[in-house]
Structure 1
Amino acid sequence: MTHRTDVVVIGGGQSGLAAGYHLRRLGIEHVILDAQTAPGGAWQHTWDSLHLFSPAPYSSLPGRLMPPQPGQLYPDADHVVAYLADYEKRYELPVQRGVWAESVHRDGEYLRVQTDCGSWQTRAVVSATGTWTRPFIPAVPGRREFTGRQLHTVQYRAPGEFAGQRVIVVGGGNSGAQIAADLAGTAELTWVTQRPPRYLADDIDGRALFDAATARRRALDSGRTDTGGVASLGDIVAVPPVRAARDAGFLMAKPMFTRLIATGIQWADGTRAEVDAVIWCTGFRPALAPFSALRLRGARGHIATEGTRAIDEPRLHLLGYGDWTGPASATLIGVGRPARDAALQIHDLLT
C-alpha cells in the first residue's frame, strides 16, 4: 500500500518530535515513522545510572519545558523518556510506531519512503534517525583473538554484572568517563584513552556547552575566527558521579593499548594485562542507511548539508546528528532551532 503526505519524518526520538512540533505549528501535513515500539527514542536504552548534563529547564524541546525531577538536579533517563512520551501526546504528534524505514528513493517530483509496512510518497523527508543504532568500534588488532566479552556503550546497563571482573573501559569522552565511574569499586577497572582526559571545569554543565556551540556557529556563519566551540572547553563534563570517582583516584587513565590478545590487552612496550571484558565507549556514526539509494554520502559518511538541508537533494533535511546539522543539534535543548529552520524551509518548498 502507498500512502501520501507532504512530509515524512524518519525517527520518533527527540529530533523527530521537535520536527513534528514545528511542522504542526506551520500546518504542514506530516507523519513521523519510528522503528521503536514505545516513546523515548534512544533514551529508553541507556545504562541505568545515566543522567542529563543540565537541569530539566535547560533540557527541553520547543514549546514545553521539561518539569524538574523530584530530588534530582540532573534528571535521569527514565524522566527524559516520560517527558518525551508526554510531549508527543500533548502536541498530538502523528507518530506511527514499529515502522522501519528501509530506503528512500527519488520518484519524479516526490520522494518515496519504503518501509516494512508499505511505502509513502512525499514532497519532503526529515531524517531524524540519530546514531544510537550505529555504534562504532575501532579496528584494533586482535579483536577476534580476544576470548573475553566485548560490548559497546549501547549494551552496557549496570555494574553488577561485572562485579569482581577485570574490565577495560575504552574512551575518553563522556560515556567512557561515566561508565568507568559507574564501575569503580565494583569491578577491577582499567580506563584507557587516546589522550589524557580533558575535564571541563566542575561548574560547567550542558547550559554552557549549548552556549559555546551556538557561539561557534555564529562566528563561523559571520566569517569570524573559529571559537573552537565545545571542543575548546574539554571532552568530559564532570557530573557528580564522575567528579566523585575522579577525586577518589579511580579515574587514572592509561594510554590506549595497541592490540588485543586472547586473554587481554597489550601496550606498545609489550606490557600486558589480563582482562575479562572490554567496554568500547568509542562513539557512534550517523544512521543513514535508508538514504543509500540517493547517493549523497561523502568520504566521511556524512551527507553534505547547508544548515539542515542536503545540498544535493533539497527535499531532504537532516536533523539531530551534531554540529554539522545545527549547533548542539544532538541535544534536547539544541535541536529546537534547527528543527524550526528545517520546517520553515520545507514550508517554503511546499508553497
Structure 2
Amino acid sequence: MTPHFQAIIIGAGQAGLAAAHELARRGLVPGVDFAVLDANEGPGGAWRHRWDSLTLGKAHGIADLPGLPMKRPDPTVPSSTLVTEYYGDYEDTFDLKVIRPAKVSRVEPATEREPAGPLRVISQAGEFTTDVLLNSTGTWDNPYVPYIPGIEDFEGLQLHTRDYVSAEEFRGRKTLVVGGGLSAIQFLLELEDVTETVWATRRPPNFTNRWKDEDKQWGLDVEDAVRERTFAGERPASVVRTTGIGMIPDYVDGVRRGLLVSRGMFDQITPNGVIFGEPLAQKAEGLGPSENAELVFPESWAPFPAGTVLGDVDVIFWNTGFRPSLRHLAPLKLRSRLGGIEMADEVTTAVNPRVLLVGYGSTASTIGATRAGRKAGRVAHQFLRAQA
C-alpha cells in the first residue's frame, strides 16, 4: 500500500521547518502523522548552496525559527555553513525525521474519481498520499534568465547567480553584470578588484531612503504591495522592485566612484558582446513603498545611447532572479489566467484548500517565511480537524 500521511511538507527550508514545528506543536507526530520531504542531501535549504563569500551581515540575514533561536552569527563564517548547522540542529532538536533526498516530481489527485480529494505525491523517495499539502519549495531551483535575441550565439561564459563560486573565476575577464537587485550590486563590489565590469539593468536602480531596520511600517508596506498582486492571481513581483535598494554606505560609495552605475539594458547579444537598446525614462518604477516619482540616487543611472555596441565581453553574469519552484504542482491546475496562483489568504490557494503555498508571494522573505510556516501549520491542522 502507498504510505499515507495526514500532511506532507515539501521542502525543509525556513518555511518548511516552521510549518513542521507548528504541526508537531499541535500534536501531530513527525514521521507518523506528517512527513517532511526535502530534495537536498542534507539540511540548510537553499542556503547550503550559497557561495562562501556570502555571510550574514548588513544585507543578508536569517530569521529565527520558532522554538530555537539562532545563536549570534559569526560574520566571518559563510552563511551556507552557519545555516546548515542551525537547520540541522533544529531538525534534531524537534526530531522532525526529514526524508531526504526526496525531490518531488509531481503532485496530483490521488484518484480520478475524487479530484478535490486527497493528493498523491511522487518523489525520489517513493510515492505517498496526503490529506493536505504544505509546499515550501522556494525559488532556488528555478533561476530566471530572460530571452534576449542572440543569447544562444554568445561565445563567452554565461552563468546565473546560483552558479557563482568565487571571484577568482572572473579574474582578468570583462564581465557584464545583469540585474537590478542586491545580488548584482554585491557581486559588482566583490568583482571590482579582479575584473572589468559593466552593469546592465532594465530599469533605473531603485534606491530608497526607507531601507531602515527601525522602519517597521516599511516592511508591512512591502508585504501589502506584493500581497495585492498574488491574491489577484498575478505573478509575484521581483523583490527589488518592491523593496528598493538601501542607501548603505558601501553602495553609496560604489555609485560615487562609478562602479554601481547602470548603463541601461541591451536588447541584442552578439558572439562577443551586446548592443544596448533605448533607455527607459529616468524615474524609478517600483511597485511598492520604495516607489519614487524621481530617482533617489540619479547618479546610479547613466544609460548608454541606443545602438551602443559593447564588445570584447568574456562573461555575461545573469543576476536576474528566480521564479517560484512550482512545476511539480502543474497537474493540480492552480494557475490563474494572469500567470500566478490566486490565493484565498497568505498560504491557502483559492483553487484547492488542500494545497498551501508556504513562503510564496508576500511571505517570500526571511521574515515572512517563518510567519507563513506557522500559519500554514495552523491552517493545515484546522483543515484536518474539519475533515475528521
TM-score interval (norm. to shorter) = 0.7 to 0.9
Q: Which of 264, 283, 291 is equivalent to 2:329?
A: 291
**Residues 42 and 217 (structure 1 numbering): CA distance in 2 closer, same or farther, change over 3 Å?**
closer
The code of the aligned residue for 1:347 comes to H
Q: 1:13 — aligned with what?
A: 13
Q: 2:360 — aligned with what?
A: 321
Q: Is the 8 A contact 2:56 2:62 kept in 1?
A: no
Tell me the alpha carbon deviations over residues 132-181 of structure 1, each in whole angstroms, 9 at most, x when there is no partner.
11111111111011111111111012111101100000001111111111
3-state SS of paired residue (2:148): coil
3-state SS of paired residue (1:85): helix
Tell me the alpha carbon deviations over residues 190-220 of structure 1, each in whole angstroms, 9 at most, x when there is no partner.
0111122122449725x74x75233455799
Matches within 5 A, 1:62-73: 62-70=66-74
- Root-mean-square deviation over aligned CA pairs: 2.8
Offset at residue 114 of structure 1 (A): 1.3
Q: Is the 8 A contact 1:35 1:99 kept in 2?
A: yes
Q: 1:236 — aligned with what?
A: 245
3-state SS of paired residue (1:266): strand
Matches within 5 A, 1:100-115: 100-107=103-110, 108=114, 109-115=117-123
Task: With the length of structure 2 as denominator, give the TM-score of the two structures.
Answer: 0.79
**Residues 249 and 57 (structure 1 numbering): CA distance in 2 closer, same or farther, change over 3 Å?**
closer
Q: 1:263 — aligned with what?
A: 272
Q: Is the 8 A contact 2:56 2:75 kept in 1?
A: no
Q: Is the 8 A contact 1:55 1:75 kept in 2?
A: no
Matches within 5 A, 1:1-351: 2-28=2-28, 29-52=33-56, 59-70=63-74, 76-107=79-110, 108=114, 109-201=117-209, 204-205=212-213, 208=215, 211-215=217-221, 235-238=244-247, 242-243=251-252, 245-268=254-277, 269-274=306-311, 275-307=313-345, 308-323=347-362, 329-351=363-385
Gaps of 5+ in 1: 223-227, 324-328
Identity of aligned residues (%): 35
Find the aligned partners of 1:335 and 1:196 in 2 and give their Cα distance. Answer: 29
Offset at residue 117 of structure 1 (A): 2.5
Find the aligned partners of 1:80 and 1:144 in 2 and give their Cα distance. Answer: 36
**Residues 45 and 251 (structure 1 numbering): CA distance in 2 closer, same or farther, change over 3 Å?**
same
How many correspondences in the alignment?
A: 337
Find the aligned partners of 2:49 and 2:318 in 1 and give their Cα distance. Answer: 16
Task: With the length of structure 1 as denominator, give the TM-score of the two structures.
Answer: 0.87
The code of the aligned residue for 1:138 comes to P
Q: Is the 8 A contact 1:57 1:66 kept in 2?
A: no
Offset at residue 316 of structure 1 (A): 0.6
